Amino acid sequence: MLQILLFFMPVTVIYYCYFCNTLHKARQNKNSLKSLYLLGFLLYDKTRQHYTKSKLRGCILIPTMKSLDGVNKKNDVNNTASEAPEKNVKTESEKIDFSKVKVEPLFEEFVDFDTFSKSDFRAVKVKECVAVPKSKKLLQFTLDDGTGTDRTILSGIHSFYEPEELVGKTLIAITNLPPRAMMGIDSCGMLLSAIHEEEGEEKLHLLMVDDHIPAGAKLY
């Protein structure tokens, strides 16, 4: 602050002397005015030299504009972030034509709740799936049903699925059916599938549910 005052003080003295000389025409003080002019210029020159060497020159008299590149890098600012495309863009769901689908008619006969509740529907996880030797249709599933003991179920869906694509899936099985021997292997239960006909051809979809459902979860 003191340096700023020292800078403007001689300028003020010079202008004051100039106006005094013009307005009052003080010819008798001509020598005094010249002395004041000279003193003012000397003070101005000394102050200017001091400012040239001081740090205030860069921030007051000659301010500098520093590049923001360093600041942006320090703050990890990416100028292209605003140009990036939005990621969470919803894609249109696939449109499926069901006009040529034919399904079996619903049963007209009712079943009582007690009879229905005797079937034990459980979520099962596919641990292993292989094609049964010498069979064109059968797949052998090794399943986790939540009991800690592996369960084996055979299903004739090989014409619709390859075994490796089913490993890790969560399926629905009826687990309290009596064992049934197929190709010398006991099948302990049944996996549920949805079947329909389309243009005279049978279509099958194995029921797969959310993988967040744990093995052994009961369906009601």
Domain boundaries, the chain: 2-61, 102-206
Q: Do residues 195 and 160 lie in contact, with contact meaning Cβ atoms separated by under 8 Å?
A: no
The pLDDT value given to residue 61: 45
The pLDDT value given to residue 138: 98
Q: Do residues 112 and 136 lie in contact, with contact meaning Cβ atoms separated by under 8 Å?
A: no
The pLDDT value given to residue 122: 98
Provide the CATH topology of domain 102-206. Answer: OB fold (Dihydrolipoamide Acetyltransferase, E2P) (2.40.50)
The pLDDT value given to residue 114: 92
The pLDDT value given to residue 96: 83
Q: Do residues 153 and 141 lie in contact, with contact meaning Cβ atoms separated by under 8 Å?
A: yes
DSSP reduced 3-state for 41: helix
The pLDDT value given to residue 40: 58
User: What's this model's pTM, rounded to 2 decimal places?
Assistant: 0.57
DSSP reduced 3-state for 81: helix
Mean pLDDT by 10 residues, the chain (220 residues): 55 57 51 56 59 48 48 49 47 79 93 93 98 96 98 97 97 97 97 95 96 96
Q: Do residues 171 and 215 lie in contact, with contact meaning Cβ atoms separated by under 8 Å?
A: no
Which two three-digit tokens encode residue 9?
């003080």
